[in-house]
Amino acid sequence: MRFKFLVYTLIISLLSQTCKEEKTIEFKEINVTTSTNKIVEINIPEAFGDEEVSNVINKRINLVIISSLNVGEENSTSSMTVSESIDLFNKEYTTFKADFPESIMEWDAQIDGEIMYQSDEIVSIAITTYLNTGGAHGNLIIEFLNFDVYTGKQLKNEDLFQDYINFTEIAKDYFNEEIAYKKELYFEPDNFKLPENIGFNDEGAILLYNTYEIAPYSSGVTEINIPWEDLQNTLNFL
């Protein structure tokens, strides 16, 4: 009887593993535009393979794109497609030029996506958005998106680590080392906090602070890199 139970358990395990393997996803780069678009350039990764997982990932990426192009009322883009948001951005610029014909300011938007890291468990994607809507300078924003490869669910930073407190201490040491000789450039250099954007590449973890997050515009983006070997006891994945 025990032998039959073990055989049954092994079969269930193999079936489960097979189902998991069937949910493998891949990515291809796509360019998104419309017939009337003149000022928006979008090149992003699109997931394909398992339809259910791919749809979840692509929907989240598209929401980031739509939100990035929104220069009007926040609620006005809640049900838009990426194509509609591109046309709306162009329309907003046309309205701006009609209201201020003497202005020499030109609008443009550049959005690029990159697969930074992919394993059997997670995929880490960076979305870089540069938006120029006529101000003193354009606005550059980088957003990291981490997804569970099996479900497509976007992972929160806390989901990435089994020991978040230990990871925070490790990150703090790397942060202090990075800014040691330029502390005067930061708002509160002795009051460490993790960034909103934590991602991964082949070398390890990346902590990214966007412009204005912890320093003025002139300081640009702050990036902290932590190698894999210092993260082995903190991660929720290998």
In a domain, 92, yes or no: yes
Does residue 218 have a pLDDT over 70? Answer: yes
Q: What whole-number distance in Å separates Cα of residue 65 and Cα of residue 181?
A: 36
Within this chain, do residues 110 and 28 fall inside the same structural domain, yes or no? yes
In a domain, 107, yes or no: yes
| pLDDT tens digits for range 89-111 | 999 999 999 999 998 889 999 99
Within this chain, do residues 165 and 222 fall inside the same structural domain, yes or no? yes
**What does the pLDDT read at residue 122?**
96
Within this chain, do residues 193 and 140 fall inside the same structural domain, yes or no? no
Q: Phi and psi for 177 in degrees, rounded to 5? A: -65, -40
Within this chain, do residues 85 and 201 fall inside the same structural domain, yes or no? no
Please state, rounded to an integer, the average pLDDT across all residues of the chain: 89
3-state secondary structure of 214: coil
What b/e readout covers 56-89, taking b as 16+ CB neighbours within 10 angstroms? bbbebbbebbbebbbeeeeeebeebebeebbbbb
The last residue of one of the domains, among 118, 133, 155, is 155
Average pLDDT of the residues in 185-205: 95
**What does the pLDDT read at residue 6?**
45
Kindly give the pairing relationship between strand 40-49 and strand 139-148.
unpaired
**What does the pLDDT read at residue 2?**
46
Does residue 166 have a pLDDT over 90? Answer: yes
**What does the pLDDT read at residue 143?**
98
Does residue 133 have a pLDDT over 80? Answer: yes
Reported confidence tier of residue 219, pLDDT bands at 50, 70, 90: confident
The last residue of one of the domains, among 155, 177, 208, is 155
**What does the pLDDT read at residue 29?**
97
Does residue 11 have a pLDDT over 50? Answer: no
Domain that holds residue 42: 24-155
Which DSSP string corresponds to 159-193?
Answer: GGBS-HHHHHHHHHHHHHHHHTT-GGGSSSTTS--
Least confident of 66-75, 177-186, 199-208: 66-75
Within this chain, do residues 118 and 208 fall inside the same structural domain, yes or no? no
Q: Total structural domains in the chain? A: 2
Q: What is the pTM of this model?
A: 0.87
Q: What whole-number distance in Å separates Cα of residue 177 and Cα of residue 182?
A: 10
Looking at residue 156, the DSSP 8-state letter turns out to be: P
Percent over 90 (pLDDT), the chain: 76
Least confident of 55-59, 111-115, 132-136, 149-153: 132-136
Within this chain, do residues 142 and 46 fall inside the same structural domain, yes or no? yes
Within this chain, do residues 212 and 222 fall inside the same structural domain, yes or no? yes
Within this chain, do residues 142 and 176 fall inside the same structural domain, yes or no? no
Does residue 149 have a pLDDT over 60? Answer: yes
Check which CATH number belongs to the domain holding 56 and give it.
3.30.565.40
Percent over 70 (pLDDT), the chain: 87
Within this chain, do residues 58 and 145 fall inside the same structural domain, yes or no? yes
**What does the pLDDT read at residue 170?**
96
Q: Chain-centre distance of CA 216, in angstroms? A: 22
Tokens of 206: 């990346």
Does residue 168 have a pLDDT over 70? Answer: yes
Residue 156 burial (C-beta neighbours within 10 Å; 0-12, 13-18, 19+): exposed
Check which CATH number belongs to the domain holding 196 and give it.
3.90.640.20
Q: What whole-number distance in Å separates Cα of residue 225 and Cα of residue 153?
A: 25
Average pLDDT of the residues in 229-234: 92
Average pLDDT of the residues in 123-138: 91
Does residue 77 have a pLDDT over 70? Answer: no
Within this chain, do residues 73 and 113 fall inside the same structural domain, yes or no? yes
The last residue of one of the domains, among 123, 155, 187, is 155
Question: Which residues, in sequence order, are bridge partners of residue 206?
Answer: 199, 225
Within this chain, do residues 134 and 168 fall inside the same structural domain, yes or no? no
In a domain, 238, yes or no: yes
